[in-house]
Amino acid sequence: MKTQYYTASSLDGFIATPDDSLEWLFPLGDINATGYPAFIAEVGALAMGSSTYEWMLRHVVRPNTAHPGAWPYEQPAWVFSSRSHAPVPGARIRFVRGDVRPVHAEMRAAAGGKNLWLVGGGDLVGQFHDAGLLDEVIVQVGSVTLGSGKPLLPRRITQPSLRLVAARRIGDGFAELRYEVPRAPGPAA
């Protein structure tokens, strides 16, 4: 069981524009040509912050519109927010706040031995990393720059550095990079 941050990013390290648009992302390639189908098949639980949840509501679920959509995940999802949100009927969503560690324990217990997906955003993933709970970062780096926006992972991770374990070209729109997150060395014995 691994805790994985799987996301797409611009070349300059943003996962969305400042106003949470992903319009730049979809023309870059077909999600089914990426590692996503194999990745999601191994996910047992997922977590996201409220901006990501609200994006899903606006663009996928679209409640109270003529053409609402379904919540896209069968796996249980934890949404971090300090505010109250309307639930999505039929979706397995729990709203949580604060310390990520007890939530991570709940996710592990629910995941049936499968991986945990940190959907984003970057600071929420940083909170898991701060707690020593992030194992892998898998990024589809898109062939665009945004100049500003929501950061991929706003933390300084240098010593030890991430370990690049795979790099794959996906057409001319993406490079898929997979990194392992080494554990910081413990105190000398």
Ligand X SMILES: NC(=O)c1ccc[n+]([C@@H]2O[C@H](COP(=O)([O-])OP(=O)(O)OC[C@H]3O[C@@H](n4cnc5c(N)ncnc54)[C@H](OP(=O)(O)O)[C@@H]3O)[C@@H](O)[C@H]2O)c1
Contact footprint for ligand X (CB under 6 A): 7-8, 15-16, 20, 22, 25, 48-52, 55, 80-83, 97-98, 119-122, 124, 127, 150
Q: How far apart are CA 46 and CA 5, in angstroms?
A: 10
Minimum CB–partner distance for residue 57 and ligand X (Å): 10
Which CB, 20 or 180, lies closer to ligand X? Answer: 20
Amino acid letter, residue 17: T
User: Looking at beta carbons only, is 22 or 167 nearer to ligand X?
Assistant: 22
Q: Residue 112 Cβ, how far from ligand X at the closest point, in Å?
A: 23
Residue least distant from ligand X (Cβ) = 49
CB nearer ligand X, residue 43 or residue 124 = 124
Backbone angles phi, psi at 186, to 5 degrees: -75, 175
- Assign 116 to helix, strand or coil: strand
20 near 36, Cβ under 8 Å? Answer: no
- Between 98 and 182, whose beta carbon lies closer to ligand X? 98
Neighbours of 168 (CB within 10 A): 12
**8-state DSSP, 57:** I
Smallest separation, CB 159 to ligand X (Å)? 25
Q: Residue 183 contacts by C-beta under 8 Å, 6 or more apart in sequence?
A: 132
